Structure 1
């Protein structure tokens, strides 16, 4: 259950369980909850309201995610329900759960780094970007840090294409935002 849910009703708790099984359409190894795009589930009268924050404002999967969320709740007998898009604060890769990062690695995608401040509930940190070389991206297959970026873009705009020099396997890296 999300940290934003406080003393949730059984219906809301069941909704979180259902949503934990709704896959992201672009990275199906992760659920929409693993990605942290389901921000809140609450009862509003007789309806459930699910608050979603897209990974970025132009994400082409937003409508598919919204429909998948509502369909899953209806199939579980939890309707009526509606989805609300909340774009502020903007989604960040810090919202990907530890379980989601593990699933990314097992799926063959190097997960982004996380922020201890966000994990501790202290808000979203300000990022100062230096001109120094980025830290190495460990290979999700063998763990080697001897990797190189082949392209700034992978199969989607949120991923970059890398190659491991040690095991010679290509892989994608989920870019930190």
Structure 2
């Protein structure tokens, strides 16, 4: 009896159901941390790039991916940690950015994460010294950074000067 392996497209669809444990409205595919899905001699190989090397959620994400794929019937599975090239917020999908905004988190500003630079360094090098972070609630650009450190290491705390609401900004990497 020959077992038919699911297509890599089907596996990608399954992976889009795996939420990020820190921001459950976005999936691991929305964040762009799943880099590759392939079959290798009957084993499903999923390459995952952590958002940064010290991300405390990395082990949890791997476990969630593994559990979800096993629930789908995948028995022979190998997860690979891929650290090069390093993850960048440029890999967050357009749908993922919109989900972040709807959840109340300002998504990373486009074009500020090139080559893994911090947003402020990339902005300086590109001539964009006044990086504008729009409020995800009211859309105002009249915002201010409260702290470089937010509710998780990948976010910074901001406040809108118009609606007065605090919000997180997903920092560029």
TM-score (normalised: structure 1): 0.85
**Deviation of residue 136 (structure 1)?**
1.5
**Deviation of residue 13 (structure 1)?**
1.5
CA distance in 2, matches of 1:166, 1:32: 33
1:27 is matched with 23
1:130 is matched with 124
Matched, 1:92 2:88: yes
Unaligned runs of 5+ in 2: none
Q: 1:128 to 1:153 in 2, by over 3 A?
A: closer
TM-score (normalised: structure 2): 0.87
1:103 is matched with 99
Residue from 118, 126, 146 that aligns with 1:150: 146
Residue from 80, 86, 89 that aligns with 2:76: 80
Unaligned runs of 5+ in 1: 1-8, 119-123
Following superposition of structure 1 onto structure 2, how do residues 162-173 of structure 1 map, counting pairs within 5 Å? Answer: 162-173=158-169
CA distance in 1, matches of 2:10, 2:137: 35
Extract structure 1 runs of 4+ deviating beyond 4 A: 124-129
CA distance in 2, matches of 1:165, 1:138: 11
Indicate the RMSD between aligned Cα atoms, in angstroms. 2.2
Post-superposition Cα deviations, 1:73-111, rounded to whole Å, max 9, x if no partner, equal 110113321100010000000000000000000000000
- What's the secondary structure of 2:7's corresponding residue? helix
CA distance in 2, matches of 1:166, 1:25: 31
Matched residue pairs, number?
164
Matched, 1:59 2:64: no
CA distance in 2, matches of 1:46, 1:115: 39
